[in-house]
Structure 1
């Protein structure tokens, strides 16, 4: 079994640097700290960190082994840069440490001015239409950029900036986070906000009132009483229309006017097979009145006879 290659020789086995460092460094992505940490860890694993930080020097101008390793690290650096950053960082010659310093300066020059601008952006950042995950990531990126320019923000201030940028639909959870003891960290506050976001996305169930229930006793009582009230009125109306003028039901004697008729309708049996509403029977004789005496018919009136004139 062949012996494993020396640690420094293992670096030549890396054929695709992006399989080890899955981040492309870009000025607009604000990912310098993550890229820097991954790249230094990778170089440490393959025993070439000294070429990156400038702690290992060549033994002379003809130190071929050092020059090969240094060139390999330069290729790794250039292979993880976005095109705009590559064009601004590339220069012929120089060592891997020189390229490393040029890239760092592009992200950390003018510290004071950059810190003021980043701090102002952090204060005015609002969630808008973003999701909680996206909003928290933006806050964290701004905090990391402030750390890059030697202006770190403490944990409590980060959480307060996070809460100040939320809209009114998160008012309930904002009060919970503010009064929580001990005061939550950024990660805990983010987790609580994500749970509240998921709760707000769930559809609300409509609450049925007591009048909407199919088994409401009050609704059945009202319906039954209404039918009972409509039945006798419709029946009485129908019989009054059909029996109008019938003397045996009227009994128009003095002191007993309409009593028999009322007693008759009170004893009228109610049928459960009749369903309301009832349609009144249309009157058969619209202009007929039993109390109006019809004029005596006398036949056609006789026409006077024409008297013939006598001839003279």
Structure 2
């Protein structure tokens, strides 16, 4: 981060506000106008510093009437305090980086490079070979072919070259996964129309069977209900049969028909007259 800030300050020609200028080449402001311009530019650089740090650090170094160089030096002391303890912690984090903890190759490489830069800031720089070896060491199994390719190079490629190789391999892996998924879907639904027709036929058969069962059930129910009425009718017919030739209890006597022998017609109910 400090290097980016230095680049930004140098591009605006205010690098001497955070790094002491060399007296033999640079001149300190002498006139009133130069001092006023220097004060204005120094306030601008100080504002940049305050805008790029966390609130905790801001409240730690914030003091009235401070200069950009004083704020810069305080931040340097804070980050370089207990350098050996920081180096131990960063070294542990650097050697235990695993790609499985990151979403993609770019995030994995960025984290490794950030740890390498932090180790350099505390006086424990990491050379290119160690950085590349740690990069391939933390990769997952799908990248084994690239790991072998990078490890067999002598000398080892630069970090940015190894990162580029891994990025291309990641793109190929994504394409293979997408292709295999689409192929599986095509194979699964290749006989789709037949499966659909079979399913529709099975559905119609099941529906027909259910309708037949309902009809059978309703028929049995109706016959059961009509059985009561049929029983009444049966009793009526039985009474009619008993009424032929004899007088049922509580009924009118039959009409005498001379040519029929005085008996009613068989199909006539006793109470018809």
TM-score of the two chains, using structure 2 as the length reference = 0.56
Query: Given the alignment, which residue of 41, 47, 50 partners 2:13?
Result: 47
Alpha-carbon separation, structure 2, partners of 1:182 and 1:91: 51
Q: Deviations over 1:103-155 (max 9, x none)?
A: 12222221111111111111111111421111111111100101111211111
Alpha-carbon separation, structure 2, partners of 1:159 and 1:45: 32
2:147 matched to 1:174?
yes
Q: Secondary structure at the match of 1:182?
A: coil
Q: Which has the higher contact order (CA 8 A, sep 6+)?
A: 1
Alpha-carbon separation, structure 1, partners of 2:66 and 2:135: 44
Partner of 2:64: 92
Q: Secondary structure at the match of 2:13?
A: coil
Q: Secondary structure at the match of 2:139?
A: coil
Superposed, 1:45-124 pairs within 5 Å as 45-55=11-21, 57=28, 59=30, 63-124=35-96
Alpha-carbon separation, structure 2, partners of 1:156 and 1:47: 36
Alpha-carbon separation, structure 2, partners of 1:188 and 1:51: 36
Q: Deviations over 1:11-64 (max 9, x none)?
A: xxxxxxxxxxxxxxxxxxxxx2xxx23332333333332222233655499944
Contact 2:116 2:126 in 1 (8 A): yes
Distance 1:148 1:124, change over 3 A: same
Contact 2:132 2:156 in 1 (8 A): no
Contact 1:147 1:153 in 2 (8 A): yes
2:109 matched to 1:136?
yes
Alpha-carbon separation, structure 2, partners of 1:198 and 1:45: 36
TM-score of the two chains, using structure 1 as the length reference = 0.50
Contact 1:51 1:57 in 2 (8 A): no
Q: Secondary structure at the match of 2:99?
A: coil
Q: Secondary structure at the match of 1:128?
A: helix
Could you say which structure has the higher helix fraction? 2
Distance 1:97 1:176, change over 3 A: same
Alpha-carbon separation, structure 2, partners of 1:70 and 1:192: 44
Distance 1:57 1:127, change over 3 A: same
**How many pairs were matched up?**
173
Distance 1:60 1:87, change over 3 A: farther
Contact 2:87 2:122 in 1 (8 A): yes
Partner of 2:221: none
Alpha-carbon separation, structure 1, partners of 2:46 and 2:169: 47
